Structure 1
Amino acid sequence: MPTPFRSGPLAAYSLYLTGSALLAANPVVGRAAASLVPPVGLAFWRWLIAFLIVLPFALPGLLAHRHRLRADWKRYLLLGVLGQGISGAVVYYGLQRTSATNASLIYATSPAMILALAAVWLGDAIRSRQVLGILLAMTGVLAILARGDLEALLRLSFNGGDLLVLAGAVSWSVYTILLRQSGAPLPVVTAFAANALAGVLVLAPFYAWETVAVRSVPFTTATVLSIVGVALFASVLALLAYQKTIEMMGAARASTALYVSPLWAALASWQLLSEPLQGFHLVGVLLVLPGVTLATLPARGPVAPAAAEAG
């Protein structure tokens, strides 16, 4: 890996902040477009446009690795179900019923979920500090789901949109674990294009059903800008910024961009969507973000495999 900060700390941290803001674009744009674009249509066109944007750069890798991609087609379709289906269209369904702030805070627990799944599924070692962090993050999610109402926990009465976003976060965690089991990794752009295309193929029949049985995507200026915005900013540019930040800062520091992203989302939602910031949001921030940080930042000395992956 190149020497960290080879372009200087200012450039590295500027890119870090930009990347975390780009990650926040997905729940904010998804919430803003909830009344304009049907959820499956938004997910379908998001990933189709993202695929077409990267295709000129990914085509040599797709051709070079075509035999491996063809042999693993079932696995890529499963990744499409998890990464673009449940973590995409289902989350957009959730954003019709909940706020972008809630969604971004719930999604911020994904690194802690990945760590817990890796410990159970792959047998990765886990430290007591990481267990504490996972418990804090999950407590924060419960506070958001209950909206600060303890009686809601006793009644198990939660907002349906929050639960759909939580399902998306769990699906993304499983998706990430499956990527870890893929053997020798493909080049970043090649893997992105293959996963995006798999997602488009998975979403296509559901998009056709939604168009016929529910409603079609109205291709107005507002909807086209929403779709292109989430494809370009939250998908392609977010990935490129994240990969470049890893190169400049190292994986451990770069991965904390996910913890900053909910703060950008909350600020943008407050300013652009007029979403009020409430007390349970503060409780969620004070539990989720420190919890995920505790769970995923590598400790000094030997690092457990799961921590190394997450951090």
Structure 2
Amino acid sequence: MENNKTRGILILIFIMLVWGSSYSITKSVVATLPPMCFAFIRFLIATVCLLPIYLQHRRKQKDRLVTSDYVRLVFMGLTGVTGYYILFNFSLLYTSASVGALIQGLIPICIALFGILFLSEKVNQRQIAGISFAGVALVGVISNDKATGSNPILGNLLMLASVICWTAYTLLSRKSNHLDSITTTFLGGCAGTLLCLPTAVYEYTHLDTPIRLGMFGWIAVVYLGAISSALCYLLYNQALKSLPAAMVGNFLNLDILVGVSIAVIFLHESITTWQVVGGALILSGLFLSSTPTRPTLTS
């Protein structure tokens, strides 16, 4: 059991390093590739990458899906693919990558709270402290927001909406624990990709200028589709089987730190004192939420 937990933590660290890079990469591409087309192409690549893995899995093991499973997978696609990434892409059109990453700090709080309410998960005192630290960091960052962008307020609101989508996806994934992670990742991704198609077609037919995506742009889209989406979604759903949702949510704070650091180094975005303090609190929250303690509080 302890080995499963350690493996789950190591998987989450890798995922956060990859996902942390996605803010700056998306920011650099989304001005050239429109947001809804971007989301569709990214997950079309992801589903193509996952198809041979899924087919091989089906030969060895057949998950028995009932109607409620298919409904849940469609909603996983709607929230974790279509909704999340369209909102995420649009957000980074209007606000900075660093502030967008920091707003994602709401995800651990939302996952923990809704995990208690809807999944009856237990939360220990260290996890509560970790969530509190993340909340303090987020309040400090937003209240001192000096984001650079064409419309930071709109961008921040869109990023907040994407947070709600990801929270729903995580909880739906936890409710699908009886299914193999390959099945949930692939079928949920297929549903999300198909739901992205109408919006992408609409956006493409209303473009004023043709899409001109250079070599760097295509490399970025393939990286986001194959590594950040296909591989990391698969690993994320696997980690959710061995770790509670509250702990997984707190590890998303590492994604925020990586995202801010890359935005500052490569996009030359400014960083405030509050962002530095927030980063320290995030690391503290991550340490507290991942270490065991005896007393637990239940809902």
* Gap regions ≥5 residues in structure 1: 150-156, 307-311
The letter for the 2-side match of 1:263 is L
3-state SS of the aligned residue for 2:91? helix
Structure 1 window deviating more from structure 2 (193-202 vs 222-231): it is 222-231
3-state SS of the aligned residue for 1:159? helix
1:259 matched residue in structure 2: 253
Q: Contact 2:126 / 2:291 at 8 angstroms: preserved in 1? A: no
Does residue 1:73 correspond to 2:70, yes or no? yes
Distance 1:303 1:51, change over 3 A: farther
Q: Contact 2:87 / 2:158 at 8 angstroms: preserved in 1? A: yes
- TM-score, with length taken from structure 1: 0.77
Q: How many residues align?
A: 289
3-state SS of the aligned residue for 2:206? helix
The structural deviation recorded for 1:305 is 7.7
2:185 matched residue in structure 1: 192
Q: Percent identity?
A: 22
Structure 1 window deviating more from structure 2 (41-50 vs 261-270): it is 261-270
- TM-score, with length taken from structure 2: 0.80
1:92 matched residue in structure 2: 89
Q: Contact 1:112 / 1:292 at 8 angstroms: preserved in 2? A: no
Distance 1:122 1:6, change over 3 A: closer
Does residue 1:49 correspond to 2:45, yes or no? yes
* Gap regions ≥5 residues in structure 2: none
The structural deviation recorded for 1:233 is 2.7
The structural deviation recorded for 1:292 is 5.4
What are the Cα deviations for residues 205-256 of structure 1, in whole angstroms up to 9, with x where unaligned?
Answer: 1111111124664343233222112112312343466689999xx858x956
Q: Contact 1:100 / 1:265 at 8 angstroms: preserved in 2? A: yes
**Aligned partner of 2:284 among 275, 287, 290:** 290
Q: Contact 2:29 / 2:220 at 8 angstroms: preserved in 1? A: yes
Structure 1 window deviating more from structure 2 (201-210 vs 162-171): it is 162-171
Distance 1:17 1:71, change over 3 A: closer
What are the Cα deviations for residues 251-276 of structure 1, in whole angstroms up to 9, with x where unaligned?
Answer: 58x95653333232222212221112
Aligned Cα root-mean-square deviation (Å): 3.6
Q: Contact 2:43 / 2:193 at 8 angstroms: preserved in 1? A: yes
2:103 matched residue in structure 1: 106
1:40 matched residue in structure 2: 36
The structural deviation recorded for 1:115 is 0.9
3-state SS of the aligned residue for 1:225? helix
The structural deviation recorded for 1:123 is 3.7
The letter for the 1-side match of 2:48 is L
Q: Contact 1:105 / 1:288 at 8 angstroms: preserved in 2? A: no
What are the Cα deviations for residues 130-179 of structure 1, in whole angstroms up to 9, with x where unaligned?
Answer: 44443432232222223358xxxxxxx97221221122112211211122
Distance 1:74 1:85, change over 3 A: same
Does residue 1:28 correspond to 2:24, yes or no? yes
Distance 1:129 1:71, change over 3 A: closer
The structural deviation recorded for 1:129 is 4.8
